[in-house]
Chain A
Amino acid sequence: MEIYLPIAEIAVNMFMLLGMGAAVGFLSGMFGVGGGFLLTPLLIFSGIAPAVAVATQTGQIVASSVSGALAHWQRKTIDVSLGVILIAGGLVGAALGVVLFEALRSFGQLDLIIALLYVFFLGAVGGIMLLESGRAMLRRKMGRPVAARRPGQHTWLHRLPVKMRFKRSKLYISVLPVAALGLLMGLLVSIMGIGGGFIMVPAMIYLLRVPTNVVIGTSLFQIIFVTAFAAVLHSITTQSVDAVLALLLMVGGVMGAQFGVQAGTKLRGEQLRLLLALLVLAVCGRMLFGLVATPTDLYSLATFAGH
């Protein structure tokens, strides 16, 4: 059944959108990631203007992270004070991101920058995860125990001033790298239409040495507020948030996620990470192909058909 999207200004099959939301929700539940990095490219591949896809995604991610964060809230695996510092940086980053987004759009380079950022981040994160999970699987095969990464080693990041105690994370570190990480993620939220969990989680574990048990909850907690802020900013400045599109994706996503969580418990950690890495690299490859392949028409229009 075709449904007309009031902001995207095109008619799209409603069940395709629900299905896309459900499929990505399933994967995000399975792997414990937000799925924005999959859904935004899928929307773009299916003919929705990149500007609308990114802006609408910021709204969709709010729904999926609220679902996830509520579960973590009950398990008390959210470090609220750490989250608040991340959010403070994130709000500034999201605002800068929206300004940058508008500027890039007026120069005709928005689609390119979105694609380049996707290729870079998906390639980097996918590559690292592939190496790491491959190594872990090899070790398991050779019968050696899979050693968990030992926290506690300090880096130069921990010697910066303005230190603060984060009780639930059992950390005493400077707020500067925390806020800077939040700011960077806020930028990416606004420009890429992602929650950024797949970058935030490794960054918190490896750079800030946050204990693994509070990482995902805290990451989801901050994603809610930063993406909500980005969605409101996009509504005001770029006016390309499509509420109907967002609702369809949310409903599909929230349902899919529940089944994904169950499927995820049946796989081992490194198997999950290997699969996720392959998925991330596949999306990266598709994006890269779009940049490198000679287009059928070298010319493109801006402002026709809405945007």
Chain B
Amino acid sequence: MRAFVDRLGFPATAAATLVLAAVLAMAGTQARAERVIAALSHKKVEIRSNFVGAELVLFGTIERDAATVGRRSDGYDVAVVIEGPAGDVTVWRKERLAGIWVNGEGVAFVNTPSYYAVLTNRPLAEMSTRPALRQEQIGLDYLKLQPAGEDTPPAVAREFQDALVRRAESQSLYFENPEAVEMLTPRVFMARIKLPANIRTGGYRARVHVFSDGALVATERLGFWVIKIDFEAAIYDLAHKNPLVYGLGTVAMAFGVGWLGSVLFRRG
């Protein structure tokens, strides 16, 4: 079933329907307490020159065996957590120095996801308890970031982490959306994953957590890739793997455009 979902050009609704059908078909095979089975509409998001962001659809179904039937009353809750490729990020705090604002103190965080989205079917606080959410790092409040310096006081680390989350939120790279997961039936759900244009390329990890009466009952992990292709990839690769050729090429292009301009627009 993977072959056809690999292409972004494939109509999203048709792909989504097929994914849903496949998920439902897979669900019939196995049962052991609760289980969640999920699939993504695309395994690859391709960045071309017209890339302005993308939307992926995740479909899932919750399976349960005979022993768990009738355990609960008001259905399941679903949280989908997506994390982008991690790296080091430095947060700078501006200070006023002789009338102008300059970067003063800075705290570096290691292994920080470049994208962090929490998609749920209702507000996190209504779904589970704080310790459970913290345990699984579900939610912006429970994200655990590691400062690079061992001696960073916890209060300072907290302050700069809050700032990091706030800045990333303003760039649409970190967010929580309590309406992004739609329960199609009490046991079948769909989540819309929004990727902005400024996302990093690399591997993305998605975790699907299912809660029942506030307790985590099942987890599934998936992944997808965000890659540059065609021209965008060629430019990016050349710039990083063969920077001398790239630089000389850019300069040659500049000479060409400059010369062409003076020939085309020569007056008199």
Contact = CB atoms under 8 A, between A and B. Distances in A.
B75 interface: no
Interface string B242-257: 0110111111011101
A295 interface: yes
A292 B250 contact: no
Given A62-B254, A294-B101, A71 B262 contact: yes
B254 A66 contact: yes
Contacts of B168: 301, 304
A300 B91 contact: yes
Contacts of A255: 261, 265
B198 interface: yes
Interface residues of A, number: 61
A250 B233 CA distance: 22
A232 B251 contact: yes
A103 interface: no
A1 B50 CA distance: 8
A65 B164 contact: no
Given A4-B51, A235-B246, A304-B171, A254 B258 contact: yes
B19 interface: no
B173 A254 contact: no
Contact of A67 (B87, B92, B228, B262): B262
Interface stretch (A82-90, A135-143, A157-165, A238-246): A238-246
Interface string B184-220: 0000000000000110100000000000000000000
Given A11-B51, A59-B250, A62-B254, A292 B100 contact: yes
Interface residues of B, number: 62
B94 interface: yes
A7 B239 contact: yes
Contact of A6 (B100, B102, B235): B235
Interface string A268-307: 0000000000000000000000011111011111111110
Contact of A241 (B166, B228, B250): B250
Interface string B213-240: 0000000000000001001110110011
B49 interface: yes
Contacts of A231: 247, 250-251, 254
A262 B265 CA distance: 11
Given A3-B49, A4-B49, A303-B89, A236 B94 contact: no
A21 B247 CA distance: 21
B163 interface: yes
B102 A112 contact: yes
A63 B52 contact: no
Contacts of A68: 262
Given A246-B254, A304-B168, 9 more contacts: A6-B232, A7-B235, A9-B200, A59-B250, A66-B254, A300-B92, A302-B89, A304-B167, A305-B171
Interface of B: 47-53, 87-95, 99-103, 106, 114, 160, 163-164, 166-168, 170-171, 173, 197-198, 200, 228, 231-233, 235-236, 239-240, 243-244, 246-251, 253-255, 257-262, 265, 267
| Closest 8 pairs between A and B when the two form their complex, measured CB to CB | A66-B258, A235-B247, A254-B261, A299-B163, A62-B254, A232-B247, A258-B265, A63-B258
